[in-house]
Structure 1
Amino acid sequence: VILNLIRIAGDYVSEEVWYRVIQIVINRDDVQGYAAKTVFEALQAPACHENMVKVGGYILGEFGNLIAGDPRSSPLVQFQLLHSKYHLCSPNTRGLLLSTYIKFINLFPEIKSSIQEVLGSDNNLRNPDVELQQRCIEYLQLSTVTSSDVLATVLEEMPPFPERESSILAKLKKKKPAVPEGTEVKEKEVRIIPQAQINNLESVAPPPPVIQASGSVDLLGLDSVPSGPAPSSGGMNFLVDMFGDQPATATNGGELFGSNVGLTAGAEDSYKKFICKHNGVLFENDLLQIGIKSEYRQNLARVGVFFGNKTTFQLTNFASDLVLPGTLSSALSVQPKPVELTVDGGAQVQQLFNIECTSEFSDAPLLNITFTYSGKPQKLSLKLPVMINKFLEAAEMNSEAFFTRWKALSQPNQECQKIFKAQYPQETEQVKQKILGFGLSILQGIDPNPDNFVSSAILHTRNQQVGCLVRLEPNKQMQMYRLTIRSTKPSISLALGNLLESQF
């Protein structure tokens, strides 16, 4: 709605409005692909308001990769579209577009030469505006002399904004009409429904653990389920009727990632955001920002944890300990490097973890951080985002090889299947990016239904390599998914299924 407002009535939209758009898009993963697609379409108008150019430049610079898979919005097309507006904009907007161009070099190395040609043009290097001239020189040098790793670190995706009251809402509240004296104001009573009652509203009868139906076409040649009496109808029977005749095990999403007891508030949500990405901000408050930068190669990993002191005072007695709960101590081999005991005000320290995956796992390592600030002890307990899917290597195969392996993994204990409600918009490009970020390939021409996604990968551990086959079937009418994962080890299928389910 706000993007349409900027497109139609840009002259009447204040700076606070498009700032708020950026804040919403940065903070919500589920709208980033939609926002990138919307601003790209809006920028194609011959007469485009400058505020829309600002929003488009910012959003495409951060999330243009989410729509780059479509040839109509390829990296070069995005760059050419933005640059066609460059000469019509004010110096401030041109500066923002130059920042977008350097971010494009990080996102899309294949168009680096085209962008460097623009940055190095006489119009920019000899621009009478000192700010634009300086930006062009610095960005050109940054793209020329730095390695891809350094460039990726400098141009890392913007972290989420801290939650605060919208400046627009604050203004509206100030304009709230005054209530005459002596007038009684009655607040509308809010009815609070107990949690048990909410659960009863959602499902009248508890669903059976295994649901079975009949009468659908098996597109991938899945082995049929042995015939037997149908279970009594329950709250989830309609799911199987919609997708086909495969058994679906009901899962409790709250237990997918183990116990959250003792974790710092927000730690679980931050952990899940790293399932399909390697780098980003894991935690942030008024005192400390904790960032993650990691790289994986087969069964080996190197994870860097960056601790940034946001205050002007020292953080003393600083310590960071990694705990491997339960069987995780035998599944992962970790060699941590010590961290500095003192973090100066405004400074950042790094701790490296060299990790080897020896066998499959489903739990997460716990990162316990303690320090003293202004004489008061502080403690944080977070999940280090090291998941089993990080050790996947995408595999390519043709249709014949896929079906041969799929049918060979036909035993019930070799398959994990989940049917669940979509948590995010079912945008094709966004789903593709998540599958690729998860570590899987996207195999074309395998499934007769073009809306379905078929993938394969190899899980690397020290002891063995395990092949994994995945099929994701969206039902956009019902806003549902059916996810099927097959591998030779049931524990691997289940662990990957739990992680993937949380992303869609």
Structure 2
Amino acid sequence: MALSGMRGLSVFISDIRNCQNKEQERLRVDKELGNIRTKFKNDKGVSHYEKKKYVWKMLYIFMLGYDVEFGHMEAVSLISAPKYPEKQVGYIVTSCLLNENHDFLRLAINTVRNDIIGRNETFQCLALTLVGNIGGREFSESLAPDVQKLLMSSSCRPLVRKKAALCLLRLFRKNPDVVNADGWSDRMTQLLDERDLGVLTSSMSLLVALVANNHEAYWSCVPKCVKILERLARNQDVPQEYTYYGIPSPWLQVKAMRALQYFPNIEDPNTRKSLFEVLQRILMGTDVVKNVNKNNASHAVLFEALALVMHLDAEKEMMSQCVALLGKFIAVREPNIRYLGLENMTRMLMVTDVQDIIKRHQAQIITSLKDPDISIRRRALDLLYGMCDVSNAKEIVEELLQYLSTADFAMREELSLKAAILAEKFAPDLSWYVDVILQLIDKAGDFVSDDIWFRVVQFVTNNEDLQPYAAVKAREYLDKTAIHETMVKVSAYILGEFGHLLARRPGCSPKELFNIIHEKLPTVSISTIAILLSTYAKILMHMEHPDPELQNQIWAVFHKYESSIDAEIQQRAVEYLALSKKGADLADILAEMPKFPERQSALIKKAEDTEVDTAEQSAIKLRAQQQTSSALVVTDQQPANGTPPVGPLTLVKIPSTSTTGQDEQSRQRALSQSNGIVAEVDSQQATSSPDLLGDLLGPLAIEGPPVTPLQSEHGLVSGAEDTSAIDYALALAPVDEQTNTVQPIGNIAERFQSLCLKDSGVLYEDPNIQIGIKADWRGHHGRMVLFLGNKNVGPLESVQAVILPPTHLKLELSQVPGTIPPRAQVQCPLEIVNLRPSRDVAVLDFSYKFGSSMVNVKLRIPAVLNKFMQIMTVSPEEFFPQWRSLSGPPLKLQEVVRGVKPMSLIEMANLFNSYHMMVCPGLDPNPNNLVACTTFYSESTRAMLCLMRIETDPADRTQLRMTVASGDPALTFELKEIVKELLVAMPASSQAPPLHAQPTSPVADLTDPGAMLAGLM
């Protein structure tokens, strides 16, 4: 702005800048707007100078973000002023304050047209700038012919013609009818003969828009574009002002090559030869230098040339040269260049006969998979996926599996899906495929969809030679102390069907198989329990010689679940118990599953159906993530193909775990049944109380929703009578009782207890909303996503969510929208940092309004102590020096605990393992003792080793001696207290134990200290 001579405007701007706060600024702006309004009402007394000054003030106020609802007519009237200063103000302020549909613009059309067709070049530029900025249909219809004449005029200066080309481009984008392709193609060809590079660059921008809309009419422009590229490549007649860091007009080169990509091919041999010579010169003359600006310009030209080479399907020699050049780029230090190199190499995979050339850079691409930048890692993953074939599949899949253990959680789902697809498409033999999928489930169980393990089961069932091998591998994985629930599913299914093939192997008798599978029962969800029951029935069927003891054990399990609240589990237990007593008829009824019909893999079909450029897919995902709020609202929508959505809510996220088709649904149901007996669930129950979590979290590859509390045959963490002990141990933060008119569905404390052991499930549910959780934990950092699902056909309003954090946690919850649309879902990420050890728990204060009901609940967040622990195994050489170095309080605390829940050592070990405290067998020679260790992570302690010893009395299982040691006094005390409260039996009606119980005196009848492990105490 030219502010010289306008003292009032300068003073106003100074006043605004000197305001101490927003309120003072608002008062000053209101005062000035009132003064301007008063002046404009008395229009006769306002001079051109004052009107210009007031209009400038209005524009400044508008730029500050305030509404300016008057004075528009005064701004438009300045357009017709005879002098440049007033006319300039009128054009600038009008283009800023008014949009294309404003009525006042109609009053200015004639004045603007007069300036365009006039002789004053300065006024022409102002008018063209206004038309280009505002656009609009009325401007297009009225002024486009005049702008076209101005562009084609040989008497106008290049500056005016350049602005005319850009103005016509804007009008064409708003209203394509303003340019008639039939009559304009010859003019466009004529414009490309322009010698002035400014006009030529603007005209090329117009050409790109025209050929993008309809290239057929502009074939005559192709030779002209090639000649322009030749001129620039040879640096012929290029003024210095259009040379950027030694590169002749890089913007014009990019636009010319972009325009050529809209034409299917170039048939003329001379034109094609000339173009390839230019492209060859660009490829040969581009390299990475230290100057960033020159790199940006040269690489813009280079990557556009690469795109044109791929578009024209050049000969293999040039393709090889392109790949070699990109190979240099993916090895440089600059991350932006590496990203572009990987992205363009991925695009080149779409061209035939370059895959073998790209394979030469496989080692460098694998190195990029470990790059600090996640964008580069994604591009490397896309490239590895695209370049994989039979020759290198084994190496690439093994690299992906190795990378999976350290990959970001954001990439694990895509990584596991692509590894599974590659293993299936290019497996050298089926045993290798089974190995890969089992490793995949073991390393990334939460991110492995059901489709993947369904496919493994199909392969194993259909190939008899593979069945013994798959059974052996499944048995090996069950030996691991902590395995994912998906691994329990697939191992139990395979051993139930084919475990009898291993009867002669050590450790694979029916009783041993039952025991190793049954150990996993207390920690799995309802859907997995159903598979385990089927496995037990299969074990009974395959026994060559009846084992009364094993038979009674399995019958006891069936008896227990005959009264299960879940209809599916109950019906299986009742039917299996009845069938298992029919003797020889059992083998006929529970026959082996028939072979699956051969059909295309659901995973490969999914990949083919969504065959889009992976680089573009990732860019779309990235743009979708860059929202003002990180909360994502997904509404219920009908798919385009007419297929009804699965469940009441849908969340679109690749890869999806849903399948279509009656055959696919029936076969997957048969997988979950394991025996061909269909246990029908009451349809009325299924429709009246839908489980939203299956839809909210299912596409995110979370295993079956834990809609009921964990059930344990031995009562470790099952039933209402045992919930209070663990509930008090893990949720010491008090939560007030609510008196809402809307009552929750299910027991809130039991849901919290279940989520203390699992990372996904339902935290809260009532008739209106369901709150689900999915969490990831890495060291002392955690990321939890709250899924807020509206179950009603009406919106939930006045939604508020506030985290009340304890002092030892740092929590940051993303913005929660105030309204959740009908039958929609909201995702709210919660970032968690553990600062120091503590048993206190954060509380979510959540409220919403539905109709006239206002609901407010306070829910404990399962960010508890054991979430920041990581199981580990230590050898005696590692354990004993650590144990001896931690001598005495406060780093080593010992306490005798009475009133312990009677349980076997196996049950106690399972309990510790479920809380990430790894029991290490063989460290204590006393068979009645347990030694456990874990690694605890917090910001203050970092990764700290924690050691624990439990000495039990075989004569009295209700008491024991516990010793806990770590390098931090607070951690030792907190860990001792939480373990003690886990072990102590408490009636459901009892009160919470004291937070700091006094150590009791030792009992005389515990294990004799003389018999303890030497050097341990």
Note closer, same or farther for the CA distance 1:411–1:81 as it changes in structure 2 (3 Å cut): closer
CA deviation after TM superposition for structure 1 residue 443, in Å: 0.7
Note closer, same or farther for the CA distance 1:403–1:279 as it changes in structure 2 (3 Å cut): same
CA deviation after TM superposition for structure 1 residue 370, in Å: 0.9
Note closer, same or farther for the CA distance 1:68–1:315 as it changes in structure 2 (3 Å cut): closer
What are the superposed Cα offsets for residues 54-87 of structure 1, whole Å, 9 maximum, x if unpaired?
xxxxxx9x98723799xxxxx9997654446899
Mapped to 1, the partners of 2:802 and 2:532 lie a distance apart of 47
Mapped to 1, the partners of 2:541 and 2:662 lie a distance apart of 15
1:121 match: 596
Please say if residues 119 and 136 of structure 1, whose CA atoms lie closer than 8 Å, have aligned partners that are also in contact: no
Structure 2 stretches lacking a partner, 5+ long: 1-495, 497-514, 525-529, 543-566, 573-591, 601-660, 673-696, 711-724, 740-746, 984-1017
Residue 664 of structure 2 corresponds to residue 136 of structure 1: no
What are the superposed Cα offsets for residues 296-331 of structure 1, whole Å, 9 maximum, x if unpaired?
111211112222334444321111111113xx2xx3
Residue 938 of structure 2 corresponds to residue 461 of structure 1: yes
- Looking at secondary structure, tell me which structure has more strand per residue: 1
CA deviation after TM superposition for structure 1 residue 288, in Å: 3.1
- Equivalence map 1:172-321=2 (5 Å): 257-262=731-736, 264=738, 270-321=751-802
1:40 match: none
Mapped to 2, the partners of 1:274 and 1:134 lie a distance apart of 30
Mapped to 2, the partners of 1:343 and 1:64 lie a distance apart of 42
Mapped to 2, the partners of 1:76 and 1:307 lie a distance apart of 30
1:401 match: 878
2:708 match: 159
Mapped to 1, the partners of 2:906 and 2:973 lie a distance apart of 25
Residue 977 of structure 2 corresponds to residue 498 of structure 1: yes
Mapped to 1, the partners of 2:831 and 2:882 lie a distance apart of 34
What are the superposed Cα offsets for residues 109-164 of structure 1, whole Å, 9 maximum, x if unpaired?
xxxxxxxx958524999xxxx988732157779xxxxxx99585252334349xxx
2:804 match: 323
Mapped to 1, the partners of 2:768 and 2:970 lie a distance apart of 40
Residue 949 of structure 2 corresponds to residue 471 of structure 1: yes
Mapped to 2, the partners of 1:347 and 1:63 lie a distance apart of 39
| Equivalent position amino acid for 2:841 in 1 | A
2:491 match: none
Give structure 1 regions of 4+ aligned residues with deviation exceeding 4 angstroms. 75-81, 83-87, 117-120, 122-125, 130-133, 137-141, 148-152, 253-257, 263-270
Aligned-residue Cα RMSD (Å) equals 4.6
| Equivalent position amino acid for 1:65 in 2 | K
Find 1:485's aligned residue among 957, 964, 969. Answer: 964
What are the superposed Cα offsets for residues 275-303 of structure 1, whole Å, 9 maximum, x if unpaired?
33323322333333322221111121111
Mapped to 2, the partners of 1:86 and 1:133 lie a distance apart of 27
- Equivalence map 1:316-395=2 (5 Å): 316-325=797-806, 328=807, 331-395=808-872
Note closer, same or farther for the CA distance 1:275–1:133 as it changes in structure 2 (3 Å cut): closer
- Equivalence map 1:71-150=2 (5 Å): 81-83=536-538, 118=593, 121-122=596-597, 134-137=665-668
Give the 3-state SS of the residue equivalent to 2:887 in structure 1: coil
1:414 match: 891
Please say if residues 764 and 771 of structure 2, whose CA atoms lie closer than 8 Å, have aligned partners that are also in contact: yes
| Equivalent position amino acid for 2:705 in 1 | E
Mapped to 2, the partners of 1:470 and 1:422 lie a distance apart of 17
Q: Which has the higher contact order (CA 8 A, sep 6+)?
A: 1
1:176 match: none
Mapped to 2, the partners of 1:137 and 1:256 lie a distance apart of 38
Mapped to 1, the partners of 2:523 and 2:749 lie a distance apart of 30
Give the 3-state SS of the residue equivalent to 1:502 in structure 2: helix
Give the 3-state SS of the residue equivalent to 2:910 in structure 1: helix
CA deviation after TM superposition for structure 1 residue 371, in Å: 0.5
Mapped to 2, the partners of 1:84 and 1:407 lie a distance apart of 47
Give the 3-state SS of the residue equivalent to 2:909 in structure 1: helix
Mapped to 1, the partners of 2:769 and 2:953 lie a distance apart of 42
CA deviation after TM superposition for structure 1 residue 367, in Å: 0.6
| Equivalent position amino acid for 1:352 in 2 | P
Mapped to 1, the partners of 2:754 and 2:899 lie a distance apart of 19
Mapped to 2, the partners of 1:372 and 1:379 lie a distance apart of 9
Under a length normalisation based on structure 2, what TM-score does the superposition of the two structures give? 0.27
Report sequence identity in percent.
22
Mapped to 2, the partners of 1:481 and 1:274 lie a distance apart of 28
Note closer, same or farther for the CA distance 1:133–1:76 as it changes in structure 2 (3 Å cut): closer
- Looking at secondary structure, tell me which structure has more helix per residue: 2
Count residues in correspondence: 314
- Equivalence map 1:56-67=2 (5 Å): 65-66=520-521
CA deviation after TM superposition for structure 1 residue 365, in Å: 1.1
Give the 3-state SS of the residue equivalent to 1:341 in structure 2: coil
Please say if residues 358 and 462 of structure 1, whose CA atoms lie closer than 8 Å, have aligned partners that are also in contact: yes
Mapped to 2, the partners of 1:84 and 1:122 lie a distance apart of 26
Note closer, same or farther for the CA distance 1:439–1:310 as it changes in structure 2 (3 Å cut): same
Please say if residues 733 and 840 of structure 2, whose CA atoms lie closer than 8 Å, have aligned partners that are also in contact: no
| Equivalent position amino acid for 2:967 in 1 | T
Larger-Rg structure? 2
Please say if residues 966 and 972 of structure 2, whose CA atoms lie closer than 8 Å, have aligned partners that are also in contact: yes
Note closer, same or farther for the CA distance 1:495–1:441 as it changes in structure 2 (3 Å cut): same
| Equivalent position amino acid for 2:949 in 1 | R
1:19 match: none
| Equivalent position amino acid for 1:469 in 2 | L
Give the 3-state SS of the residue equivalent to 1:503 in structure 2: helix
The farther-off stretch of 362-371 and 402-411 is 402-411
Please say if residues 781 and 832 of structure 2, whose CA atoms lie closer than 8 Å, have aligned partners that are also in contact: yes
CA deviation after TM superposition for structure 1 residue 388, in Å: 2.4
Please say if residues 730 and 840 of structure 2, whose CA atoms lie closer than 8 Å, have aligned partners that are also in contact: no
2:114 match: none
Mapped to 2, the partners of 1:122 and 1:65 lie a distance apart of 32
Under a length normalisation based on structure 1, what TM-score does the superposition of the two structures give? 0.52
Note closer, same or farther for the CA distance 1:414–1:68 as it changes in structure 2 (3 Å cut): closer
